[in-house]
Amino acid sequence: MDQVARAMASARKAVAVSYLVVAAGAVIVGALARGKTGVISAVVAAALGAVLCLATVIVNHYGVKYPNYVVAALAGGFLLKLAALITGFLLTRHFGSLDTFVVGLTLAVMIVVTMFAETLALVRARVSAVTPKPQLERSFESC
Protein backbone atom coordinates (compact mmCIF):
# COMPACT_ATOMS: atom_id res chain seq x y z
CA MET A 1 0.00 0.00 0.00
CA ASP A 2 2.88 2.32 0.74
CA GLN A 3 4.18 1.82 -2.78
CA VAL A 4 0.82 2.82 -4.27
CA ALA A 5 0.68 5.92 -2.05
CA ARG A 6 4.13 7.03 -3.19
CA ALA A 7 3.25 6.38 -6.83
CA MET A 8 0.04 8.40 -6.59
CA ALA A 9 1.83 11.24 -4.77
CA SER A 10 4.33 11.34 -7.62
CA ALA A 11 1.46 11.35 -10.12
CA ARG A 12 -0.25 14.24 -8.31
CA LYS A 13 2.95 16.26 -8.39
CA ALA A 14 3.43 15.53 -12.10
CA VAL A 15 -0.16 16.59 -12.84
CA ALA A 16 0.23 19.86 -10.91
CA VAL A 17 3.53 20.78 -12.57
CA SER A 18 2.31 19.92 -16.07
CA TYR A 19 -0.89 21.90 -15.47
CA LEU A 20 1.08 25.00 -14.45
CA VAL A 21 3.39 24.75 -17.45
CA VAL A 22 0.54 24.34 -19.94
CA ALA A 23 -1.55 27.12 -18.32
CA ALA A 24 1.35 29.59 -18.46
CA GLY A 25 2.14 28.62 -22.04
CA ALA A 26 -1.51 28.96 -23.04
CA VAL A 27 -1.75 32.50 -21.71
CA ILE A 28 1.44 33.51 -23.55
CA VAL A 29 0.44 31.84 -26.83
CA GLY A 30 -3.12 33.18 -26.51
CA ALA A 31 -1.76 36.70 -26.10
CA LEU A 32 0.55 36.40 -29.08
CA ALA A 33 -1.91 34.65 -31.40
CA ARG A 34 -5.29 36.19 -30.58
CA GLY A 35 -4.60 39.29 -28.49
CA LYS A 36 -6.87 40.28 -25.61
CA THR A 37 -9.56 37.73 -26.54
CA GLY A 38 -6.94 34.98 -26.57
CA VAL A 39 -5.67 35.94 -23.13
CA ILE A 40 -9.17 35.99 -21.64
CA SER A 41 -9.99 32.66 -23.28
CA ALA A 42 -6.73 31.11 -22.07
CA VAL A 43 -7.38 32.34 -18.52
CA VAL A 44 -10.88 30.81 -18.61
CA ALA A 45 -9.37 27.55 -19.89
CA ALA A 46 -6.71 27.73 -17.16
CA ALA A 47 -9.44 28.16 -14.54
CA LEU A 48 -11.22 25.10 -15.92
CA GLY A 49 -7.87 23.35 -15.88
CA ALA A 50 -7.42 24.26 -12.21
CA VAL A 51 -10.75 22.61 -11.43
CA LEU A 52 -9.64 19.67 -13.54
CA CYS A 53 -6.32 19.47 -11.67
CA LEU A 54 -8.11 19.55 -8.32
CA ALA A 55 -10.50 16.83 -9.46
CA THR A 56 -7.55 14.70 -10.59
CA VAL A 57 -5.89 15.12 -7.19
CA ILE A 58 -9.11 14.08 -5.44
CA VAL A 59 -9.52 11.06 -7.72
CA ASN A 60 -5.90 10.06 -7.08
CA HIS A 61 -6.45 10.39 -3.34
CA TYR A 62 -9.38 8.00 -3.72
CA GLY A 63 -7.04 5.61 -5.53
CA VAL A 64 -4.62 5.70 -2.60
CA LYS A 65 -7.38 5.21 -0.05
CA TYR A 66 -8.72 2.17 -1.92
CA PRO A 67 -5.73 0.66 -3.78
CA ASN A 68 -7.81 -2.12 -5.32
CA TYR A 69 -9.70 0.53 -7.28
CA VAL A 70 -6.76 2.45 -8.79
CA VAL A 71 -7.88 1.66 -12.34
CA ALA A 72 -11.42 2.80 -11.57
CA ALA A 73 -10.06 6.01 -10.05
CA LEU A 74 -8.02 6.73 -13.17
CA ALA A 75 -11.03 6.00 -15.38
CA GLY A 76 -13.11 8.40 -13.27
CA GLY A 77 -10.43 11.02 -13.76
CA PHE A 78 -10.67 10.50 -17.52
CA LEU A 79 -14.43 11.09 -17.40
CA LEU A 80 -13.83 14.29 -15.42
CA LYS A 81 -11.40 15.44 -18.11
CA LEU A 82 -14.03 14.90 -20.78
CA ALA A 83 -16.57 16.81 -18.68
CA ALA A 84 -14.13 19.73 -18.37
CA LEU A 85 -13.64 19.80 -22.14
CA ILE A 86 -17.39 19.80 -22.77
CA THR A 87 -17.87 22.53 -20.15
CA GLY A 88 -15.24 24.64 -21.88
CA PHE A 89 -17.02 24.37 -25.20
CA LEU A 90 -20.37 25.18 -23.61
CA LEU A 91 -18.88 28.27 -21.97
CA THR A 92 -17.56 29.53 -25.29
CA ARG A 93 -20.98 29.03 -26.80
CA HIS A 94 -22.68 30.89 -23.94
CA PHE A 95 -20.17 33.76 -23.80
CA GLY A 96 -19.60 34.92 -27.35
CA SER A 97 -16.48 36.89 -26.43
CA LEU A 98 -14.48 33.73 -25.71
CA ASP A 99 -12.39 32.20 -28.47
CA THR A 100 -13.49 28.59 -28.95
CA PHE A 101 -10.22 27.63 -30.61
CA VAL A 102 -8.07 28.89 -27.73
CA VAL A 103 -10.25 27.31 -25.03
CA GLY A 104 -10.54 24.00 -26.85
CA LEU A 105 -6.87 23.78 -27.76
CA THR A 106 -5.75 24.79 -24.27
CA LEU A 107 -7.96 22.21 -22.58
CA ALA A 108 -7.06 19.48 -25.08
CA VAL A 109 -3.32 20.09 -24.67
CA MET A 110 -3.75 20.30 -20.90
CA ILE A 111 -5.61 16.98 -20.80
CA VAL A 112 -3.10 15.18 -23.02
CA VAL A 113 -0.05 16.53 -21.19
CA THR A 114 -1.42 15.87 -17.70
CA MET A 115 -2.55 12.35 -18.65
CA PHE A 116 0.89 11.64 -20.10
CA ALA A 117 2.60 13.02 -16.98
CA GLU A 118 0.33 11.01 -14.69
CA THR A 119 0.87 7.81 -16.69
CA LEU A 120 4.62 8.34 -16.82
CA ALA A 121 4.79 8.88 -13.05
CA LEU A 122 2.80 5.70 -12.40
CA VAL A 123 4.87 3.65 -14.86
CA ARG A 124 8.10 4.82 -13.24
CA ALA A 125 6.80 3.68 -9.85
CA ARG A 126 6.40 0.12 -11.19
CA VAL A 127 3.41 -0.79 -9.05
CA SER A 128 2.13 -4.21 -10.00
CA ALA A 129 -1.57 -4.27 -10.72
CA VAL A 130 -1.91 -8.01 -10.15
CA THR A 131 -0.68 -10.01 -7.18
CA PRO A 132 -0.41 -13.68 -8.17
CA LYS A 133 -2.15 -16.25 -6.00
CA PRO A 134 0.13 -18.65 -4.09
CA GLN A 135 -0.97 -21.67 -6.15
CA LEU A 136 -0.01 -19.85 -9.37
CA GLU A 137 3.43 -19.03 -8.00
CA ARG A 138 4.18 -22.73 -7.45
CA SER A 139 3.09 -23.62 -10.97
CA PHE A 140 5.40 -20.99 -12.45
CA GLU A 141 8.36 -22.21 -10.39
CA SER A 142 7.89 -25.83 -11.45
CA CYS A 143 8.20 -24.99 -15.17
Closest residue by Cα to residue 89 from 116, 57, 111: 111
Q: Which pTM value belongs to this model? A: 0.72
DSSP structure class, residue 18: H
Residue 135 lies in a domain: no
pLDDT confidence of residue 75: 82
For residue 26, tell me if it sits in a domain: yes
Does residue 9 lie in a domain region? Answer: yes
pLDDT recorded at residue 127? 64
pLDDT tens, residue by residue, 91-116: 888 887 888 888 888 888 888 888 88
Average pLDDT of span 52-80? 80
User: Please, which pLDDT band fits residue 83 given cuts at 50, 70 and 90?
Assistant: confident
**111 assigned to some structural domain:** yes
How many domains are contained in the chain? 1
Residue 142 lies in a domain: no
Are the C-beta atoms of 49 and 19 separated by less than 8 Å?
Answer: yes
Q: Strand, helix or coil at 128?
A: coil
Q: How many CB atoms are closer than 10 A to CB 132?
A: 11
Stretch 53-71: mean pLDDT, rounded? 80
| Average pLDDT, rounded, for the chain | 81
- Would 137 be classed as within a structural domain? no
Instruction: With beta carbons less than 8 A apart as the criterion, state whether 49 and 84 touch.
Output: yes
Question: Does residue 143 have a pLDDT over 70?
Answer: no
How many angstroms from the chain centroid is the CA of residue 98?
24
Cα–Cα nearest to 7, from 132, 131, 127, 137: 127
Q: Is 129 helix (H, G, I), strand (E, B) or coil?
A: coil
Confidence grade of residue 133 (pLDDT, cut at 50, 70, 90): low
Write out the residue range of the structural domain in which residue 32 sits: 1-127
Residue 93 maps to a domain: yes
Query: Does an H or E element contain 124, and which?
Result: helix 100-125
Q: Is residue 138 part of a domain?
A: no
What integer pLDDT is reported at residue 138 of this predicted model? 58
